[in-house]
Amino acid sequence: MIKLFEHLEDIDISAEHSLAEHTYFKAGGKAEIFIQPHTAEAAADVIAICHEQGIPLEILGRGSNVLIADKGIPGVTLMFGSRMSQASACGDQLFLEAGVRIAEACALAARNLLTGLEFACGIPGSIGGALRMNAGAYDGCFENIVVRTQYVDREGIMGWVEGAEHEYGYRESIFIRNRWIATQTVLQLQPGNRTEIYPLMAENARKRRESQPLEVASAGSAFKRPSGYYAGKLISDAGFKGYRLGSCGVSGKHAGFIVNYGKAKASEIMAVFIKVQDEVEARFGIHLEPEIQFIGDWSGEPMVRREKRS
C-alpha cells in the first residue's frame, strides 16, 4: 500500500510506525502507514488517494486527546505535527499551520503583545486539534478568536470556512460534523500589555499545575461536562478518586482525569473508562459522554458508550 504514496512530494512516510510515543496516554499500537505532510496540498493529495483507493484514513495532531487501540490504526494515519508548524504574527492576527503547538501559539501572541489567547496557555496539543475540538478553558475558547480556517474534505478537496461557518459549540465544530481536516487558520487577537498578558498566562499555567495531574500520562478531561454537573465531582462522589486498575486508574488529584501510571495497555485504560461510566450512570442516572477520541481498530473489544444506555 505504501507504494501508492511514495511518488508524492512533501511528505515523510513510514510503515508499521509505533504511535504510543506520539500520544499523551503513552499507549496504543502501530500505524499501518504513517504520513507527516509538510504542506496542506500534500495532505490533500494523501487524502484524495485514500478516498479513491478506499483506504481508511485517521488524523492525528499532537496526540493529547486520543486513546489509540492496542491493535493500532489500519490504513493511513496522517499526522499534523512539527512538519506543518509554521507560525507568524501580522498586525493583530496570528497565522498558524495545523501542527503548531498551542503553547507555541501562546508564546507567539505574548511576544507580539497580543491578548486573547491567554485562556489556552497550558492546553497541550496542536492548533489543528484545538480547531476541531473548539478547545477551551477559563471562560475562553477558540470559537471566540478564529477568523477563518483552511480545510481539506474527505475527498481531498480544499476550502476555507469563515466566522460562524465553523459551527462551533461546546466541543463541537464543522470539522467534527463533516470530518474535515483543518490545515491552517487565522486567529484574531487584540493589542495588549506585557504587564497583563504574561502574568495572566503564568496564572493560568499555575492553576493547571495545582489542579491537574500533569506529572502522569493522561489525555485531559476523560468525559465531557454533563449539563448541570461536573464530571470530576460525579466521578469523585461515586468513589473513584484515586481508583487504581493495574497501572492505570483515576487521578487522585483530579477525578476528571483517567491516567496511565506506567505501561498500561490501551485496553486497560478503556476498562477504566467503562467502569467509571457504568458506575456513575448506575448511581446517579447521569450519562458521562467521553471527551477523548478513541481511534484505531477497537473491533471485538469492550468500548465506553457515546450514548446513554437505552
Residue numbers at the binding site for ligand FAD (CB under 6 A): 24, 59-66, 80, 98, 123-126, 128-130, 132-133, 135-137, 175, 181-182, 212, 214, 218-220, 293
Nearer to ligand FAD, 67 or 110 (CB): 67
- CA nearest to 271, candidates 301, 291, 232, 236: 301
Question: Which grid cell sits at 76?
Answer: 493511513
The CA distance from 285 to 226, in Å, is 11
In angstroms, give the least distance from the CB of 141 to ligand FAD: 7
Is the CB of 209 or the CB of 283 nearer to ligand FAD? 209
Taking residue 294's Cβ as centre, other Cβ atoms within 10 Å add up to 19
Burial class for 32, CB neighbours closer than 10 Å (0-12, 13-18, 19+): buried
For the question of residue 291 being annotated catalytic, the response is: yes
For residue 154, the tally of other CB atoms under 10 A from its CB is 14
Q: Which is nearer to ligand FAD, 167 or 281 (CB)?
A: 167
Say how far apart CA 147 and CA 187 lie, in whole Å.
Answer: 6
Our CB check for ligand FAD shows the closer of 48 and 282 to be 48
User: C-beta of 246: minimal distance to ligand FAD in Å?
Assistant: 20
Select which of 104, 172, 291, 301 is catalytic. Answer: 291
The least CB distance from residue 3 to ligand FAD, in Å, is: 25
Give CA–CA dist 8/71, Å, rounded.
27
Catalytic residue among 171, 173, 218, 251: 171
Q: Are 31 and 72 in contact (CB under 8 A)?
A: yes
- Give the whole-angstrom CA distance, residue 254 versus residue 235: 10
- Asked if 82 is an active-site residue, the reply is no
Closest separation in Å from C-beta 285 to ligand FAD: 26
Active-site positions read: 171, 221, 291
